[in-house]
A = this chain, B = another copy of it.
Amino acid sequence: MLKDIIDNNENYQPGLSIDCVIFGFHDNQLKVLLIKVERANKWSLPGGFIPVDQDIDTAAITVLNSRTGVEGIFLRQFATFGKVNRNHQHFDKKTLEYLQIEEEKGKWLMRRFVTIGYYALVDFSKILPNPTGRMEIVEWIDHKEVPELILDHREILDKALDTLRIELNLMPIGYNLLPEKFTIPELQKLYETILDKKLDRRNFLRKITNIGILTKLDEKKSNVAHKAPNLYSFDKEKYDEVLKNGLNQGW
């Protein structure tokens, strides 16, 4: 609760916060997890403050877990945002009163807050949007239909999506997002949805095969009229190796 944090603000890093861009993929849709608190008219990214006794990465994991209810999700720091006017001046006297926060204590919130951005990519069908049960609206919203956001949250979201698209060139993707057995066209759709563009079928097949993380199974997709496509699975050992060392398609 915000009141608890502000009343005990000496336990938190001053002027520093975390914002998480949680992308959700399912059935060829890319959505983003957004929050609207009571009384607010704009949406925001899920975020939090940094306890003095937690590493920043740990604090980010805490935010993600408290919002999604799942652990072990791939979470990556991507940028830190700190314009001079990045403050919570929209918390006016009335809002503080409503939240039962003393004006003197509330000053802690009014200074410039630099925020560290993290992004995650999850299968949104497997996740409860609001396991904490706070008095907030929490929704998965299509990334192309994002409403007005508070502060610089739109900039943070855009930067996260840019980073995700760039990192598709540096790391593999798909584990935890696709069924255990999948077809190449399904994997291609995942890339196309994130990149928001059509990809050439042959080029995609060649590139994805060259990475060496796929195992071709001795099975075809059922329930398909004719020319049933082959099924594949990820070679998890090689997948993790490439995730760690990066795609070697550089110089």
Contact = CB atoms under 8 A, between A and B. Distances in A.
Contact of A84 (B54, B82, B165): B54
Interface string A27-42: 0000000000000000
B250 A169 contact: yes
A189 to B, nearest CB: 12
A138 interface: no
A81 B169 CA distance: 24
B83 A80 contact: no
Taken together, the copies of this chain in the complex come to: 2
Contacts of A156: none
Contact of A82 (B50, B195, B251): B50
Interface stretch (A13-21, A98-106, A128-136): A13-21
A240 B184 CA distance: 36
Contacts of A165: 250
Interface of A: 13-16, 50, 52-57, 77, 79-84, 111-112, 114, 116, 165-166, 168-170, 191, 195, 199, 204, 207, 246, 249-251
Given A168-B250, A170-B166, A191-B251, A114 B56 contact: yes
Contacts of A55: 82-84
A14 to B, nearest CB: 5
Query: Sorted from nearest, which 7 A-B pairs have the closest CB atoms?
Result: A56-B82, A169-B250, A80-B80, A14-B14, A55-B83, A80-B116, A55-B84
A83 B111 CA distance: 23
Nearest to A192: B251
